[in-house]
Structure 1
Amino acid sequence: MMQYGMPSFVVPLSTFPKGYHCEKNTPLPFLSIDAQKNHISVYHMGIYANPQLLEWFENEYPKHMTTKLNMEKSCIRFTNPNKIPLGS
């Protein structure tokens, strides 16, 4: 679905009726993608919510990317789309 102006995969209210944060009628976001002027952003709420998954991601990232990890909370930024390993 489109959520916050981005194509997103969400956890539907039928599965998680509490909704997202303070917005009870909004499904819980899981994965979203957005194109900004200088980067592509991937928002992965699983990385934000699960410390073990975050640690795994931080360890695996350099094995697949030549650029430094540019990340805050759930937002992973790719500043050079030509370096994204789409075949991995």
Structure 2
Amino acid sequence: MRIDSPGLTTDLDLLRLQGATVTDLGDHLVVRTEANPTFWWGNFLLVPSAVRSDEIERWTARFEEELPDAHHRAIAFTHDGGDTEA
């Protein structure tokens, strides 16, 4: 997955330096910080689009598949805007 944002790229690099793994699954990234499962923004999905209300259930289910032991749900989108009510 290509990320054009220097800020997001830097954030991911800093997470890796802190022990997180970043897995590219093609249509999204999975960020895991196994040493700190309660770290919301160290255990999340990164989706390369703006948020869409018709995809919230899909991404929530995907989060639960990828991070089944998490007690939170954290999904980030690379683009501003979209359906912010979602």
TM-score range, shorter chain: 0.3 to 0.5
Larger Rg: 1
TM-score (norm 2): 0.32
Greater fraction helix: 2
Greater fraction strand: 1
